[in-house]
Structure 1
Amino acid sequence: MCGIVGFVNAKDNKSAIIEDMMSTIVHRGPNSSGEFCDDQVALGFRRLSIVDLSGGSQPIFNEDDSKVIIFNGEIYNYKELREDLIAKGHTFKTTADTEVILHGYEEYGVDIVKQLRGMFAFAIWDRNTQELFGARDHFGIKPYYYAEMNGTFMFGSEIKSFLKHPDFNKELNKEALKPYMTFQYSALEETFFKDVYRIPEGHYYTYKNGQLTIEKYWDAEFTEDKMSFEEAVDLIEEAVSESVEAHKTGEVNIGAFLSSGVDSSYVAAVLRPENTYSIGFGDESYNESHEAKRLSDKLGLNNTSKVVTGEEAFDYFPLIQYHLDEPDSNPSCVPLYFLAEMAVKTSTICFSGEGADELFAGYQNYGFNTRSKPVRVLAEQLKKLPKSARYSIARSIKKAPDFKGSMHLYTSLAPAEDFFIGQAEVFKNNDADEFLTADYQNSVSTKEIVDRQYKKVKDLSEVKKMQYLDLHQWMPKDILLKADKLSMAHSLELRVPLLDVRMMELAQRIPTKHLLNAENTKYAFRKAANRHLPDEWADREKLGFPVPIKDWLRTEKFYQQVREIFSQDFVSEFFDQAKIIELLDDNYNEKNDERRKIWTIFTFLTWYKIYFIDGEKPTVA
């Protein structure tokens, strides 16, 4: 696991610039660094040693030094690819997975990305053709940004490295704020920094003669294959075991994050690492570490846990937002930061449970909005009606007064496009305008953002439409981004064996009825997990790092800290300052419960102050 930076231009002083850029991401690779510069390109690399500890330093060159690569990630099928390439006549200088990509590119061209199994962001410079080629992994597990400014094309693992380049223009993207208010993360392809974009997940790019071309090489292809429920469970169990085993590459200690939920528990039970790690807060309702400890004891695993205090959370919050590059008000960012800090003391790699909810329909928002089983059974029967009849019933329910189970029936029968935008909806699209100043009210609508994905899968079942949307919005722009940035903040490599291209090949074929039904979400997955876990764990409701922001915002000390930043002069550029202070005060005085809206505003202001006012990495006393 590493960090990459680079740029293409015909200007001088490349070495000094690339070293400055590399210095901002030293946390991604504390073990060593490397660079390559010629008259057109500069490539920089920071290394966290995992595979080929003594010989895997980058950049790496091919046999005749005509091509050079920098790479961030892990390729889990590199050994079999290496054997194939050796048989085809390629000579390897290292045993690292990086070199497989380079020789694979020599052999297969851009199609090498279709053969890679893993998480990756890389760049290859061809010194003969003067062409740059790069790619991002199938799901966007590894971050990858680019910008074209003042005659320079720059790219890398973290946006903060761009700020060191003399051709970079630091400017806020005004259109990013309003969607963020709804989604809680940076929801556009253009980031919060004007003219800085992401390489989309499942895409590769080429850059030559000042022209950038981006192409898709992979996407999920959901179907409804015929298979029995028992077959689905057997296939899932087999796939999880195989994927966990495949992800165990490396020459360093491997641990696992462990919550009270089924996903991380299933991974830990199959992996059986020497160490597991859990996090919690003081209140019992916000502390998953107790249940995680109970499970680790049952499985015979060592568990280390930490309780995070409110003081720690607020002290470190600016540093957390700094590492994320863009504002993310997902409350789980806080415990994840401290979990990684704790784990890296005894492990260099940790396994985590991300991906199961998106691949196997685990979210309650996919249509599991009631505890009443009779209502759930009724919904399953109504789902068998023709589409036109289902949609008609849903419209009638929406117009009718609320009744017990109405929300569950509506979300089970309505078109996904009518109600589902992902796993977070903080401000409704129009509600955000009540708080934003006029200059920040103009952006693409929530509907426009999600419809870009929905239009690609209009003929799928409603559940699989929602899965597809989350695969391309929620997962790469929130879940995976915070997982990468906050683990790498502590030089910890995080691996996600449930989010794997081979796992996806299975998951996309499983019939919807085996994923979500009257019994539970990700039902077949839970039954597979049940073969490795105590009964009560497989059926646990997902908590997702419960964080006590409700209590914090009604605690005098923390309320005053938030009010202090809400009251600063710069805030009036973005928000109706009186309205957001009123929102905060009313929440503190228990006249409302608007914790998520307040936290989302607080997060943005904290982030903006770091990058546009203070202009430096925050320190913690």
Structure 2
Amino acid sequence: MCGFAGFSDAGMTREDMRTTAEHMLAAVAHRGPDGAGRLHHRGVTLAHCALTFTDPDHGTQPFVSASGATALVFNGEIYNHAELRAELRAAGVALRTGSDTEVLVELYELRGTRMLDRLRGMFAFVLHDARTGTTVLARDPMGKKPLYYTRVPNGIAFASELTALLRHPAAPRVPDLGALADYLVFQAFCAPASAVRGVSKVRPGSCVTHERGELRETEFWRPRLAPGTGARRGPGLREAEQRFEELFRAAVARRVTSTDRRLGVLLSGGLDSSAVAAVAQQLRPGQPVPTFSAGFVDPDFDESDHALAVARHLGTEHHVVRIGGPDLAGVVESELAYADEPLADPSLLPMRLVCRAARAHVRGALTGDGADELLLGYRYFQAERAIELLLRVLPAPRLEALARQLARRLPARSGNLPVAAALGLLAKGLRASPEHRFYLSAAPFTPGELPGVLTPEAGAELAGHDPFAEVSRLLRDQPGLSQVQLSQLAVTTHFLRDVILTKTDRGGMRSALELRSPFLDLDLVEYGNSLPTGLKLHRFTGKYLLRRIAADWLPPAVVRRTKLGFRAPMAALLRGELRPLLLDTLSTASLRRGGLFDTGAVRLLIDDHLGGRRDTSRKLWALLVYQLWAESLTARPRASETPAYPALS
């Protein structure tokens, strides 16, 4: 894993190039502690910091092709680089190193951007082709690695993180109100937008080319589902089990065996991460795999006993990271204001603490991310299936009232989302279309609530804004999908790509810890997407295939367990350890300086939550995270920090 930055440098002095590159790269120094480099390549300056896994002695970046025509900076890993290396050699290319970086640059010179279809891995990279003057920015299909860019007077600037891009002297610094509206609904700034107007993110599965002053976007992959819901439209159960297990084992093996460095597993004790740990341990017999889990002081959030039971069953080297309110508050106060851009998922806090502890033992770890989206594991999908069936016999108003009634009668608790809460949240969005329902049920603010929390001036700029535009784009040309399938693709669009994977990347890379997600292996994803819904959500049992496969590896209690989720006790934190920060950051004076949020509406949310009248923690957390970032945007020095590395030559 790495970090990089760069910019078109026509008209700049060498000193300006060097200084700008140093200050941009210093902002992502945490992503690559193994060294840094800079290169001026015929009109483009490239800078890179490394966290090495493959051929660290010869894959130094920026990397230049044997012809000298193409230069590259790359963040990620290409898991099938050995296969691609063989193809290059068969085509007569003489390779000089064993690095996947060289494979990328030489494959581009051989095939151009068509080579993107052949890559299997996680990546964000920028290459400059001096033959045509073209700069190519590309991001992997799932969006595991971030990539930002903006126009500058002499071309473009780009970086692994927004913080680095904003250190370019010509970068814009005005908040994007449309993107802010999306953030308040989705909890994240969703590609292709960013928190700053004029700064874009490369979409997952896309490349952006800059040539002769023009930007052009090309999508090379998007998620597609096989139409229909029945189990008869596809392979039989046994065949699907065999193929899925084969692909899953290969996905874990790609990530474990592609490096000589020791890898761990982030183990929650749930089915997904336990299955990953099981296969990882099978690949290293006699060598206990390091596993890491969060142990929350609040018992409603703690799954550490389950993780410990799995670790003992598998024989891993297990570590529990004990987390209390002061630990979570410490992450907020020490780091959140300087985060890349706002992310309102509270689980980023414990993720950050677990990754920090894991980095003391390993440089990389596997996760169970992606299984719930791929195999319909969330309770929302079970509720969506129930809605799909019940709407055939009940009108929507009657079903909405029934869901609320059931939610009131079922046992409730204050920890991770139980069935009652899932029903209650879904009831709020029941009359919406399936592809919107997941977000409307769980959004900090629904689109209809935004005018009430924003100032009239800010709200006026959002007239006609559609937060679901990207969801609609990905659903285009995919007819015949069931309600569950529409919900699945919508959840993948933003919750997986923009929330979960942003959290994973940020939580790990702040500690220079590389996180790898086998369930998001492209071959496995494409096979899972081709399967009928009934093989993934069997009646009301999600992750049906995985449960059957993992029954031979894990204790029955783990295979049968209902997902709890990885969350932080935000309601209690805002009333306790974070109360002073909340009151200061969302004070009337602070909000007036920003000029975006209605002070009276925010004050009411605070009073209701602190007074115990209602839980407004999701709304307050989203506002707090954004306001911390917005204040740092204006206060953060742009060119005075000492670079994290010696001066780049």
TM-score normalised by L of structure 1:
0.91
- Secondary structure of the equivalent of 1:498? helix
- Secondary structure of the equivalent of 1:133? strand
Residue 289 of structure 2 is aligned to residue 274 of structure 1 = yes
1:252–1:348 Cα contact (<8 Å) kept: yes
In 2, distance between residues paired with 1:166 and 1:427? 34
Q: CA deviation at 1:50?
A: 0.7
Which of 610, 623, 634 is the aligned partner of 1:588?
610
Q: CA deviation at 1:335?
A: 0.4
1:323–1:486 Cα contact (<8 Å) kept: no
Which residue number in structure 1 is paired with residue 239 of structure 2?
231
The change in CA–CA distance for 1:488 and 1:285 in structure 2 (over 3 A counts) is same
Amino acid at match of 2:555: P
Which of 109, 112, 117 is the aligned partner of 1:109?
112
Which residue number in structure 1 is paired with residue 52 of structure 2?
49
Amino acid at match of 2:306: E
The change in CA–CA distance for 1:403 and 1:213 in structure 2 (over 3 A counts) is closer
Which residue number in structure 2 is paired with residue 372 of structure 1?
none
In 2, distance between residues paired with 1:329 and 1:267? 27
The change in CA–CA distance for 1:393 and 1:453 in structure 2 (over 3 A counts) is farther
Instruction: Number of aligned residue pairs: give it.
Output: 603
Deviation readout 1:102-125 (Å, 9 max, x if unpaired): 111121111111000000111221
Which of 439, 464, 469 is the aligned partner of 1:421?
439
Which of 289, 307, 323 is the aligned partner of 2:322?
307
Which residue number in structure 1 is paired with residue 248 of structure 2?
240
1:515–1:522 Cα contact (<8 Å) kept: yes
The change in CA–CA distance for 1:279 and 1:418 in structure 2 (over 3 A counts) is closer
Which of 528, 533, 537 is the aligned partner of 1:512?
533
Which residue number in structure 2 is paired with residue 611 of structure 1?
633
The change in CA–CA distance for 1:418 and 1:130 in structure 2 (over 3 A counts) is closer
TM-score normalised by L of structure 2:
0.87
Which of 183, 193, 201 is the aligned partner of 2:186?
183
Which of 559, 562, 583 is the aligned partner of 2:579?
559
Residue 481 of structure 2 is aligned to residue 460 of structure 1 = yes
Residue 516 of structure 2 is aligned to residue 495 of structure 1 = yes
Amino acid at match of 1:205: V
Deviation readout 1:490-515 (Å, 9 max, x if unpaired): 11111011101110121011111121
Which residue number in structure 2 is paired with residue 82 of structure 1?
85
Unaligned runs of 5+ in 1: 370-375, 384-389
Amino acid at match of 2:360: K
The change in CA–CA distance for 1:440 and 1:413 in structure 2 (over 3 A counts) is closer
Q: CA deviation at 1:403?
A: 6.9
The change in CA–CA distance for 1:204 and 1:92 in structure 2 (over 3 A counts) is same
- Secondary structure of the equivalent of 1:446? coil
In 2, distance between residues paired with 1:396 and 1:171? 43
Which residue number in structure 2 is paired with residue 3 of structure 1?
3
1:530–1:538 Cα contact (<8 Å) kept: yes
2:222–2:474 Cα contact (<8 Å) kept: no
In 2, distance between residues paired with 1:430 and 1:469? 19
- Secondary structure of the equivalent of 2:530? coil
2:129–2:135 Cα contact (<8 Å) kept: yes
In 1, distance between residues paired with 2:305 and 2:335? 25
The change in CA–CA distance for 1:155 and 1:423 in structure 2 (over 3 A counts) is farther
In 2, distance between residues paired with 1:460 and 1:502? 22
1:11–1:39 Cα contact (<8 Å) kept: no
The change in CA–CA distance for 1:592 and 1:301 in structure 2 (over 3 A counts) is same
Unaligned runs of 5+ in 2: 228-232, 282-287, 408-422, 642-649
Residue 325 of structure 2 is aligned to residue 317 of structure 1 = no
Deviation readout 1:296-330 (Å, 9 max, x if unpaired): 01211111111222222222214443564111111
Which residue number in structure 2 is paired with residue 193 of structure 1?
196
2:79–2:120 Cα contact (<8 Å) kept: yes
Which residue number in structure 1 is paired with residue 597 of structure 2?
575
1:308–1:335 Cα contact (<8 Å) kept: yes
Amino acid at match of 2:265: A
Segment drifting more, 303-312 vs 92-101:
303-312
2:536–2:545 Cα contact (<8 Å) kept: yes
Which residue number in structure 2 is paired with residue 26 of structure 1?
29
In 2, distance between residues paired with 1:529 and 1:41? 50
Structure 1 vs Structure 2 CA RMSD: 2.5
- Secondary structure of the equivalent of 2:53? coil
Q: CA deviation at 1:133?
A: 2.0
Which residue number in structure 2 is paired with residue 255 of structure 1?
264
Which residue number in structure 2 is paired with residue 535 of structure 1?
556
Which residue number in structure 2 is paired with residue 69 of structure 1?
72
In 1, distance between residues paired with 2:373 and 2:635? 37
1:280–1:335 Cα contact (<8 Å) kept: no
In 2, distance between residues paired with 1:123 and 1:284? 45
Residues 58-457 of structure 1 aligned to structure 2 (within 5 Å): 58-187=61-190, 189-223=192-226, 225-248=233-256, 249-272=258-281, 274-322=289-337, 324-368=339-383, 382=389, 393=394, 395=396, 397-398=398-399, 415-417=433-435, 419-421=437-439, 424-441=442-459, 442-443=461-462, 444-457=465-478
Once the two structures are aligned, what percentage of the paired residues are identical? 29
